[in-house]
Amino acid sequence: MDRVYVFDTTLRDGEQSPGATLNMEEKIEVARQLTRLGVDIIEAGFPISSLGDFEAVNRIAREVRGSCICGLARAAAADIDRAWEAVRDAETPRIHVFLSSSDIHLLHQLRKSREQILEEAVAMVKRAKSYLSDVEFSPMDASRSEPSYVYQILEAVIDAGATTLNIPDTVGYSTPEEYGRLIRGIFENVPNIHKAIVSTHCHNDLGLATANTLAGLVNGARQVECTINGIGERAGNAALEEFVMALHTRRDVYNLTTNIRTTEIVKTSRLVSELTGIQIQPNKAIVGGNAFSHESGIHQDGVLKERSTYEIMDARTIGLIPNTLVMGKHSGRHAFKRRLSELGFTLSDEDVSRAFMRFKELADKKKQIDDRDLEAIVADELRIHAETYHLDHVQVSCGERSMPTATVRLIMPDGRVVADAAIGTGPVDAIYKAINRLIEIPNQLTEFSVKSVTEGIDAIGEVTIKIESDGRTFIGRGASTDIIVASAKAYINALNKLANLRTATVGG
């Protein structure tokens, strides 16, 4: 079977999702997991965009082995020089140069002629080539560009040294038929195309990212740019897990293969969801909570008799291990640790100890604990462990005719323990006002949601919030059997992300 190279841009395009800001250590953790997953190329960031992005790309290049490490650059000398500084220590470095090719971008954004764009593209590819052999070029908004002009640019940049040609559907405008035709046209009309690999980069604005990606592969593309869980600008990118499992499940149709270790998919998906704070919708293909669930009696009957009646994939293929252990108050640390490992969590002994204490506390309240409870416990503990500001105590007073009052105690970054109280329109509002008096970072709460992790009155409640500050969105999550406590945790989680970004920006 033909090999398809997987180019993951979770740390670059994916991080552009509103609220998906990752700190340095989180980026390193994701990069290492992407390597374990078998990703061929990791686009680690946009080095010139900030000092923090440069340092993250540079550290990933120095510390992560097993994947090519790529830095993004506009077709500008300073961008390319900075990208080279960032990736030069990688085991296999790459620079990815992009420049718009559509008339709508040239006219309204760049205000340059096609001739000027062509000249700049060639010059900057040559500049990148002077640093290293692996250069990728993207004619941005290619799917809305004149095909003949795209062919002209591609031929010129190949002559200049580009080894990978990425064809972006930047705004998710294409249909599979159109995108496939564009890729096929490149092979038919670019005479030196045999010297380069053609890549896809599809956005999901019309829900067609995976379909367009597969259409590109059918017509000759052999690299796919994608993200974990499909996160990214606006509606996101082609999801790695979707196109990989499409190739894996329908070998009879595509006859294509990747180096992805599919059993690492669930683990990677959960890691990215947890660190970015972006929840996976239940009906998300491959990794959604309902992907292998059956509610219909007819479906349940069929699956019990023969799984292939209603399941086209074996859940174990993506790393979902059936739970054969009933977890409860009498479960020991060994069984707990084993189940976490089966669920895809790799934790230090210290993290396991903290999570096990939370598990025991929950087991005193719930007769039986399932995987969703365990995932919520571990995710919440990992969030707490990474905090700059730590919630030490919260207490509220509220009722039908009373004034909702909250008392909050926090542990500050310097170790000081501080406390304050506030009155609000409700208990959560009072908590947030008290926290704001202690952590003086201006922000606006824009979204607040509560969901039950499992069924039943004793279920863990998970709160997800969004706050905005300085034009950026930050997502916070918290979990507890007490939704008031979960609300406080979620707010602290979001404020920590905001505070960490401010610290990194000031440092730059």
Output the domain CATH number for residue 460. 3.30.160.270
**464 vs 476: CA distance, rounded Å:** 6
Q: Show the DSSP H helices in 371-440 as ranges.
A: 371-385, 427-438
Domain of residue 260, residue span:
2-276
What is the CB-side half-sphere exposure of residue 352 using CA atoms within 13 A?
15
How are beta strands 135-140 and 164-169 bridged, if at all?
Answer: parallel
Same domain, 355 and 262: no
Question: What does the pLDDT read at residue 508?
Answer: 38
**407 vs 394: CA distance, rounded Å:** 6
Residues in the chain: 508
Q: Decide if 33 is inside a domain.
A: yes
Q: Decide if 284 is inside a domain.
A: no
**227 vs 236: CA distance, rounded Å:** 8
Amino acid at 198: V
In total, how many domains does the chain have?
4
Q: How far is CA 174 from CA 95, 201, 212, 378, 462, in A?
A: 26, 11, 7, 40, 37
Q: Which of 441, 434, 424, 426 is nearest to 494 (CA)?
A: 441
**408 vs 421: CA distance, rounded Å:** 6
Q: Decide if 285 is inside a domain.
A: no
Same domain, 220 and 310: no
**49 vs 501: CA distance, rounded Å:** 14
Last residue of a domain, one of 329, 351, 383: 383
Q: And the tokens for 36? A: 């374990």
Last residue of a domain, one of 251, 276, 301: 276
Same domain, 300 and 408: no
**244 vs 222: CA distance, rounded Å:** 13
Q: Decide if 408 is inside a domain.
A: yes
Same domain, 340 and 301: no
CB-CB contact of 129 with 94 (8 Å)? no
Same domain, 248 and 329: no
Same domain, 193 and 250: yes
Q: Show the DSSP H helices in 307-348 as ranges.
A: 333-342
Last residue of a domain, one of 364, 383, 402: 383
Query: What is the full per-residue pLDDT of the chain (508 aa) written as tens digits?
Result: 699 999 999 999 998 887 777 888 889 999 999 999 999 999 999 999 999 899 999 999 999 999 999 999 999 999 999 999 999 999 999 999 999 999 999 999 889 999 999 999 999 999 999 999 999 999 999 999 999 999 999 999 999 999 999 999 999 999 999 999 999 999 999 999 999 999 999 999 999 999 999 999 999 999 999 999 999 999 999 999 999 999 999 999 999 999 999 999 998 998 898 888 788 888 999 998 788 765 555 555 564 566 667 678 888 899 887 654 557 777 788 888 888 877 767 778 888 888 888 888 888 887 778 777 888 888 787 777 667 899 999 999 998 888 999 999 999 999 999 999 999 999 999 999 999 999 999 999 999 999 888 777 778 899 999 999 988 888 888 999 899 999 999 999 999 988 887 766 544 3
Same domain, 271 and 303: no
Same domain, 379 and 468: no
CB atoms within 10 A of CB 130: 11
Same domain, 171 and 182: yes
Torsion sign over Cα 190, 147, 175, 213: positive
Q: Decide if 281 is inside a domain.
A: no
Q: And the tokens for 9? A: 């841009």
Q: Which of 171, 228, 240 is nearest to 205 (CA)?
A: 171
Question: What does the pLDDT read at residue 362?
Answer: 83
Q: And the tokens for 223? A: 């690299």
Question: What does the pLDDT read at residue 30?
Answer: 95
Q: Decide if 282 is inside a domain.
A: no
Same domain, 222 and 342: no
Same domain, 260 and 391: no
Q: And the tokens for 488? A: 């406080």
Question: What does the pLDDT read at residue 23?
Answer: 83
CB-CB contact of 222 with 2 (8 Å)? yes
Question: What does the pLDDT read at residue 407?
Answer: 97
Q: Decide if 121 is inside a domain.
A: yes
CB-CB contact of 339 with 323 (8 Å)? yes
Q: Decide if 286 is inside a domain.
A: no
Same domain, 97 and 158: yes
Question: Which CATH number belongs to the domain containing residue 270 in this structure?
Answer: 3.20.20.70
